[in-house]
């Protein structure tokens, strides 16, 4: 069953002159065409081009001049948890600072929750994301922090996404107060053994109050030895060693990047490590935004992600991230949309999503507006008109 979507006002493909056959080449630079059409077949993009030259298909949908984009790729989210921290947010807005230790509140609630409660919460958040155009998402553990609680976290996450990240090294849990080395040993040993079968990625929160450079390096090395690929929570609250470590180990991404030294920007620009910016966090913690413009100007690859989590940013809205990136980090609308689609795909080392070249998975978002710029131009307005995932209309 093939579907032709025609009369597309602007089709964002992120795939300039790279359509060459059934194997997707992966996302390229931002690219878009006006007056376009797209054919979906067998869950893949089978054809894109001018609407006037579109081939016939079994079914037809009329975009009525609206824009169609690749589905958003959210490469950073923490969705396995219980409880909520609305009161902490309100207190923060009333003047209390954000600290990494707030994670412990969610750890306590998560440990007390049943598997079914965790699963139901994740199912609700995954549906919330999909309705807002996120067709691929990464999901981290990190609120269990015991062997069984981390193991069930990655196992439940794997029911919803292939992009599962083991984040046992999120924060040192209370029972290891005064013995962080003992906790790192657990994270690198028994906990890793229990989690690795369900995960693709290993991550560590490299930050004052969480894990220092050597501890973080040990966690990443152990994860890599177990077959997991590294990514790092880096330079969120302080200009620490996280970014340099991420680049040194060849991490797919260094996430946050809110406090960078010049050498950090240079290191990112000279590497394959994607700088993943999470502006919802700065919005929700009232911290200064990362220098997205500076990273792009230096030549770094930038992704945007939600960091949806109950503490520092309880938003699953990629359009909000795009609007913030444009307004607060001085990305152009094209750069922001690219970062939320192709950039996220790069951060997950995926070539089948984040673009709409021939052969890409048919993950599409149609927005109520004639161009991608509407995502920043009309902030806070629900603009997602339709969503397809793997060729199936899902919202």
**Least Cβ distance, residue 12 to Zn ion (angstroms):** 27
The answer to whether residues 91 and 33 touch, using CB atoms and an 8 Å cutoff, is: no
Rounded Cα gap, residues 74 and 378, in angstroms: 21
**Least Cβ distance, residue 258 to Zn ion (angstroms):** 12
Total number of residues that touch Zn ion (CB under 5 A): 1
Nearest CB to Zn ion, comparing residues 74 and 363? 74
Nearest CB to Zn ion, comparing residues 307 and 335? 307
Rounded Cα gap, residues 156 and 47, in angstroms: 36
Question: Nearest 5°: CA angle at 199, between 194 and 202?
Answer: 95
Nearest CB to Zn ion, comparing residues 3 and 73? 73
What are phi and psi for residue 73, nearest 5 degrees? -115, 105
Rounded Cα gap, residues 208 and 10, in angstroms: 45
Stretch of 127-135, 145-153, 265-273, 302-310 contacting Zn ion, by CB under 5 A: 302-310
**Least Cβ distance, residue 188 to Zn ion (angstroms):** 20
Rounded Cα gap, residues 238 and 353, in angstroms: 33
Which of 209, 225, 73, 204 lies closest to 140 in space, CA to CA? Answer: 204
Alpha carbon of 109 to those of 146, 149, 165: distances in Å? 13, 11, 20
**Least Cβ distance, residue 106 to Zn ion (angstroms):** 12
**In 163-319, which ranges are E strands?**
163-169, 201-206, 229-234, 253-256, 274-277, 302-304
Residue 352 touching Zn ion (CB under 5 A): no
Tokens representing residue 223 in the block: 């994860």
Q: Which residues contact 363 (CB under 8 A, 6 or more apart)?
A: 70, 71, 135, 136, 353, 388, 389, 390
Stretch of 186-194, 242-250, 301-309, 330-338 contacting Zn ion, by CB under 5 A: 301-309
Nearest CB to Zn ion, comparing residues 255 and 335? 255
Nearest CB to Zn ion, comparing residues 71 and 280? 280
Stretch of 154-162, 243-251, 299-307, 340-348 contacting Zn ion, by CB under 5 A: 299-307
Return the residues of window 197-236 that contact Zn ion according to CB under 5 A: none
**Least Cβ distance, residue 195 to Zn ion (angstroms):** 17
Nearest CB to Zn ion, comparing residues 15 and 141? 141
The answer to whether residues 316 and 129 touch, using CB atoms and an 8 Å cutoff, is: yes
**Least Cβ distance, residue 120 to Zn ion (angstroms):** 22
SS3 196: helix
Tokens representing residue 64 in the block: 């009525």
Nearest CB to Zn ion, comparing residues 281 and 376? 281
The answer to whether residues 347 and 77 touch, using CB atoms and an 8 Å cutoff, is: no
**Least Cβ distance, residue 236 to Zn ion (angstroms):** 8
**Nearest residue to the partner Zn ion, using Cβ:** 307
Rounded Cα gap, residues 206 and 29, in angstroms: 31
- Contact string (CB under 5 A) for Zn ion, positions 303-332, x = contact: ----x-------------------------
Nearest CB to Zn ion, comparing residues 314 and 377? 314
Nearest CB to Zn ion, comparing residues 8 and 206? 206
Tokens representing residue 388 in the block: 């397809």
**Least Cβ distance, residue 78 to Zn ion (angstroms):** 6
**Least Cβ distance, residue 348 to Zn ion (angstroms):** 14
Residues lying near Zn ion in the complex (CB under 5 A) are found at 307
């Amino acid at each position: 069953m093939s579907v032709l979507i025609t009369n597309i006002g602007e089709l964002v493909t992120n795939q300039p002159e790279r359509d060459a056959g059934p194997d997707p080449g992966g996302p390229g630079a931002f690219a878009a065409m006006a007056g376009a059409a797209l054919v979906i077949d067998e869950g893949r993009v089978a054809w894109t081009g001018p609407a006037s030259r579109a081939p016939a298909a079994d079914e037809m949908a009329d975009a009525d001049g609206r824009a169609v984009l690749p589905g958003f790729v959210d490469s950073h989210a923490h969705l396995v948890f219980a409880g909520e921290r609305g009161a902490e947010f309100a207190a923060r807005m009333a003047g209390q600072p954000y600290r990494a230790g707030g994670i412990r509140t969610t750890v306590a609630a998560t440990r007390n929750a049943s598997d079914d409660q965790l699963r139901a919460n994740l199912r609700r958040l995954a549906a919330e994301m999909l309705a807002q155009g996120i067709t691929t998402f990464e999901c981290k553990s990190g609120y269990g922090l015991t062997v069984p609680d981390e193991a069930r976290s990655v196992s439940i996450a794997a029911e919803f996404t292939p992009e599962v990240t083991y984040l046992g090294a999120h924060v040192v849990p209370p029972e290891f107060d005064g013995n962080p080395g003992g906790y790192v040993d657990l994270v690198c040993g028994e906990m890793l053994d229990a989690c690795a079968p369900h995960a693709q990625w290993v991550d560590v929160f490299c930050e004052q109050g969480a894990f220092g450079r050597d501890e973080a390096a040990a966690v990443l090395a152990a994860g890599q030895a177990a077959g997991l690929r590294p990514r790092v929570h880096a330079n969120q609250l302080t200009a620490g060693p996280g970014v340099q470590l991420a680049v040194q180990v060849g991490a797919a991404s260094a996430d946050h990047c809110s406090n960078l030294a010049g050498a950090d920007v240079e290191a990112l620009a000279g590497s394959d490590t994607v700088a993943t910016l999470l502006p919802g966090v700065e919005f929700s913690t009232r911290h200064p935004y990362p220098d997205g413009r500076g990273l792009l100007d230096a030549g770094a690859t930038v992704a945007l992600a939600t960091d949806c989590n109950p503490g520092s940013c309880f938003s699953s809205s990629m359009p909000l991230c795009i609007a913030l990136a444009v307004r607060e980090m001085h990305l152009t609308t094209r750069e922001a949309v690219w970062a939320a689609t192709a950039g996220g795909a790069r951060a997950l080392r995926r070539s089948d999503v984040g673009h709409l070249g021939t052969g890409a998975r048919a993950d599409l978002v149609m927005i109520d507006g004639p161009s991608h710029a509407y995502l920043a131009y009309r902030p806070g307005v629900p603009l997602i008109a339709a969503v397809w995932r793997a060729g199936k209309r899902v919202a």
